[in-house]
């Protein structure tokens, strides 16, 4: 029927959540599949796409698509030139897992500072080891330390709030400095003075999107401007960092260590030197995982769908030119 709004969900979405979407309006027809062939058939009539599986081929086969809702906060994989040039609105899932990602970032900071990574290695070998004096003297406290948050959005803002609760000094940078400074941020640093933030921080946390402006933003010069006692935490995207330079920085002691959830190539290659580094904690791009993800994502999508049906502006609209 032409007056029905066709919503296509390009993943195997649990029926409970599909029902929630269907319940938004009787004028909505919801279909879901992750099968690429079937998707290519269904996309022709879709008005709205909740995008799991996505490709250029799929987008080009869409004839009446008006809105894509991303499953994730980061939309770098969806921003094909064709999508950017089109009139299709793109919304992201920013906020859905900012609690999980911010806790993950704080967890990495705590683990590196309290040396959990060394103790877990010892535990695997049944070793009670208190003789490593150098290690024990490096056991630190977050309280009193400085965190520099690069990207003060939903995730960065939550990291700032939690870091403040732990007694840290909070520096942050974001693109737009004209918005008011959140109270738990001690100093907002303009992006052009980012190196000063890097130099002043004991922990540098990357919480910004991957865009043409941010790709490889952490290279040799940035890593060298950090203190040799400081840590890099990346809970965003691997391509923000020149990984080869990061490996060199960790090997040569430009910085003390890193907590990494995102990598230039994922899965991280089996022969990456990062795996064996004692001063690195690796998590496999799981910072955003939480049991509440699908509930919150579905609630966001249903709210947005109601807005869409009423002709109102949508929540979390991405500026396709800026890339976030």
**CB-based contacts of 118, cutoff 8 Å, min separation 6:** 132, 135, 278
Q: Say whether residue 241 binds ligand NAP (CB under 6 A).
A: no
Catalytic residue list:
237, 266, 285
Q: Say whether residue 98 binds ligand NAP (CB under 6 A).
A: yes
Could you tell me which stretch among 40-48, 244-252, 265-273, 282-290 binds ligand NAP (CB under 6 A)? 282-290
- The residue number whose beta carbon is nearest to ligand NAP equals 153
**Least separation, in Å, of the C-beta of 95 and ligand NAP?**
6
**Least separation, in Å, of the C-beta of 174 and ligand NAP?**
3
- Judging by DSSP bridges, how do beta strands 169-173 and 146-150 pair with one another? parallel
Could you tell me which stretch among 5-13, 33-41, 96-104, 306-314 binds ligand NAP (CB under 6 A)? 96-104
Secondary structure (3-state) at 5 = strand
- Phi/psi of residue 201, nearest 5 degrees: -100, 145
Closest to ligand NAP by CB, 8 vs 159, is 159
Q: What is the dihedral of CA 205, 74, 160, 317, to 10 degrees?
A: 150
Closest to ligand NAP by CB, 130 vs 178, is 178
How far apart are alpha carbons 60 and 43 in whole angstroms?
9
List the beta bridge partners of residue 32. 9
Secondary structure (3-state) at 200 = helix
Q: Say whether residue 69 binds ligand NAP (CB under 6 A).
A: no
How far apart are alpha carbons 166 and 2 in whole angstroms?
56
Secondary structure (3-state) at 16 = helix
- The site string for ligand NAP over 167-206 (x = CB under 6 A, - otherwise) reads ------xxxx--------------x---------------
**Least separation, in Å, of the C-beta of 219 and ligand NAP?**
15
Pick the binder of ligand NAP from 6, 94, 146, 230 (CB under 6 A). 94
How far apart are alpha carbons 160 and 244 in whole angstroms?
29
- Judging by DSSP bridges, how do beta strands 280-282 and 257-260 pair with one another? parallel
Residues 208-227 that bind ligand NAP (CB under 6 A): 208-211, 213-214
CA torsion through residues 119, 122, 128, 132, sign: negative
Closest to ligand NAP by CB, 113 vs 214, is 214
Note the residues at the interface with ligand NAP (CB under 6 A).
Answer: 73-74, 94, 97-98, 101, 150-156, 173-176, 191, 207-211, 213-214, 235-237, 261-262, 285, 287-288, 324
């Amino acid at each position: 029927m032409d007056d029905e709004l066709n919503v296509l969900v390009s993943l195997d979405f649990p029926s409970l959540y599909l029902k929630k979407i269907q319940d938004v309006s009787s004028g909505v027809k919801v279909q879901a599949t992750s099968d690429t062939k079937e998707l290519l058939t269904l996309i022709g009539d879709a008005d709205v796409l909740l995008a799991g599986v996505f490709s250029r081929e799929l987008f080009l086969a869409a004839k009446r698509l008006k809105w894509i809702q991303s499953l994730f906060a980061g939309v770098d994989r969806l921003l094909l030139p064709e999508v950017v040039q089109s009139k299709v609105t793109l919304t992201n899932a920013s906020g859905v897992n900012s609690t999980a990602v911010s806790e993950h970032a704080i967890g990495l900071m705590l683990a590196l500072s309290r040396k959990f990574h060394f103790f877990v290695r010892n535990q695997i070998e049944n070793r009670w080891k208190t003789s490593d004096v150098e290690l024990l003297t490096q056991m630190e406290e977050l309280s009193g330390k400085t965190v520099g948050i690069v990207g003060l959005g939903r995730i960065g803002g939550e990291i700032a709030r939690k870091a403040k609760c732990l007694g840290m000094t909070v520096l942050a940078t974001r693109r737009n400095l004209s918005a008011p400074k959140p109270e738990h941020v001690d100093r907002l640093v303009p992006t052009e003075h980012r190196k000063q933030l890097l130099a002043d921080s004991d922990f540098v946390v990357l919480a910004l999107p991957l865009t043409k402006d941010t790709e490889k933003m952490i290279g040799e010069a940035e890593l060298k401007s950090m203190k040799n006692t400081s840590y890099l935490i990346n809970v965003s995207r691997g391509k923000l960092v020149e990984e080869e330079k990061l490996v060199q920085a960790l090997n040569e002691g430009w910085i003390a260590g890193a907590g990494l959830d995102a990598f230039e190539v994922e899965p991280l290659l089996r022969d990456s030197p990062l795996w064996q580094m004692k001063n690195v904690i690796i998590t496999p791009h799981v910072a955003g995982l939480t049991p509440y993800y699908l509930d919150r994502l579905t609630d966001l999508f249903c709210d947005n769908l109601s807005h869409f049906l009423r002709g109102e502006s949508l929540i979390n609209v991405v500026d396709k030119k800026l890339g976030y």
